[in-house]
């Protein structure tokens, strides 16, 4: 755990404890297998970024309340539900270095448990004392974005013609949209004025884009010893920012040849090494890092609209942590 993660979790210790007490209560079941699986998933931890964003946003706009806790719990449940579904889509046998539900139980079980978490997230939102309808609309948009992002990514993995516009839509839909909803739900729970809400939306959108770009960079330049597998995107024929940056600097004919190689990786996995070498040769990773840093800078600048608060420095530091993380 990084120094920032330690400070982040220590600062939010009280509210996060309330969030995870609610998660345990909400996800409890008298079906032993379901209950045991849910408890195991909760115990695995994770970065807690999405519920943390909800809590920090509310704190920066006036204070955390019961509805903030409900919305933060919903954000975490939605995030984990999408991971359970993603593991089935991707055929993933491990996540964060541990076996997935899909690999231990089955693909249908992973889908059903993900559905269970989604329903419980909706229940948490509906239990809010105020603004439950606004929060439902926020998270409903995110769920629509997530589905559309996954389908667009599948389509483009098949055709290997991903453009930069396609890529940005995919990573907004799959990652940044939930960051945005998590932050906005926190602002809504604190009855924040419109200008603060807009500033936080801009912060979260840019932060989410940077977060996913970092993940895509780590797929080329990560450290498997830290639990982050390398090369998964290429094996799944996904064209992400490091490769797009490399393609931008290549002659049209060479770029077309590389795209054709990506299209053959599912049948000839060894071709992934050639594509990765091309990305490194063309400085695709370094160029992607530069673009990620621009999103981080933009996220931090959005916070200028917020008044001073204890939470604001943590939001700033979180943006920098996203760019520096190694897994």
pLDDT surpassing 50 at residue 225: no
Q: pLDDT by residue (tens digit) across 264-307?
A: 999 999 999 999 999 999 999 999 999 999 999 999 999 999 99
> Are 199 and 210 a contacting pair, CB within 8 Å?
no
Q: Which of 9-18, 38-47, 144-153, 161-170 is predicted with the least confidence, judged by mean pLDDT?
A: 38-47
Contact (Cβ atoms closer than 8 angstroms) between residue 48 and residue 76: yes
Tokens of residue 268, six digits: 């000839």
* Confidence at 1, pLDDT banded by 50, 70, 90: low
CB atoms within 10 A of CB 224: 11
**Statement: residue 212 has pLDDT above 60:** yes
In this prediction, residue 38 has a pLDDT band, given cuts at 50, 70 and 90, of: very high
237 Ramachandran zone, left/alpha/beta (phi>0; psi -120 to 50): left
Q: 68-97 pLDDT, tens per residue? A: 999 999 999 999 999 999 999 888 888 877
pLDDT one-digit tens code per residue, 26-37: 999 999 999 999
Q: What pLDDT is attached to residue 229?
A: 67
Burial 147-169 (b: 16+ CB within 10 A, else e): eebbebbeebbeebebeeebbbb
pLDDT digits (tens, 9 = 90+) for 113-136: 999 999 999 999 999 999 999 999
Q: Two tokens at 185? A: 């739900």
Q: How far apart are CA 112 and CA 121, in angstroms?
A: 14
Greater pLDDT, 110 or 6? 110
Q: What's the pLDDT score for residue 44? A: 86
DSSP 308: P
Tokens of 163: 């453009």
Residue 257 structure tokens: 């040849």
Output phi, psi for 269, to 5 deg. -55, -30
d(CA 204, CA 201): 5
| Cα 33-39-45 angle, rounded to 5 deg | 140
């Amino acid at each position: 755990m990084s120094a920032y993660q330690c400070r982040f979790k220590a600062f939010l210790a009280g509210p996060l404890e309330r969030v995870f007490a609610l998660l345990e209560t909400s996800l409890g079941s008298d079906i032993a297998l379901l209950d045991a699986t849910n408890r195991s998933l909760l115990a695995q931890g994770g970065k807690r970024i999405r519920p943390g964003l909800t809590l920090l946003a509310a704190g920066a706009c006036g204070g955390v309340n019961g509805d903030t806790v409900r919305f933060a719990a919903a954000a975490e449940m939605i995030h984990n539900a999408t991971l359970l579904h993603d593991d089935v889509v991707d055929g993933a046998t491990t996540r964060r270095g541990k076996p997935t539900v899909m690999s231990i139980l089955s693909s249908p079980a992973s889908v059903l448990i993900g559905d269970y978490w989604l329903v419980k997230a909706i229940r948490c939102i509906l239990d809010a004392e105020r603004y439950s309808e606004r929060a439902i609309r926020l998270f409903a948009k995110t769920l629509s974005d997530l589905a559309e992002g996954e389908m667009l990514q599948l389509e483009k993995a098949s055709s290997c013609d991903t453009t930069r516009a396609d890529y940005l839509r995919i990573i907004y839909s799959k990652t940044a949209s939930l960051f945005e909803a998590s932050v906005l739900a926190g602002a809504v729970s604190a009855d924040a004025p419109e200008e603060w809400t807009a500033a936080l939306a801009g912060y979260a959108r840019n932060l989410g884009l940077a977060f996913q770009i970092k993940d895509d960079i780590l797929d080329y330049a990560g450290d498997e010893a830290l639990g982050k597998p390398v090369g998964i995107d290429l094996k799944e024929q996904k064209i992400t920012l490091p490769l797009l940056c490399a393609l931008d600097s290549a002659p049209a004919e060479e770029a077309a040849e590389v795209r054709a190689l990506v299209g053959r990786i599912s049948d000839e996995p060894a071709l992934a090494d050639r594509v990765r070498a091309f990305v490194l040769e063309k400085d695709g990773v370094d160029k992607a890092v530069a673009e990620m840093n621009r999103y981080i800078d933009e996220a931090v600048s959005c916070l200028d609209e917020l008044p001073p608060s204890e939470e604001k420095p943590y939001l700033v530091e979180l943006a920098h942590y996203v760019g520096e993380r190694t897994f």
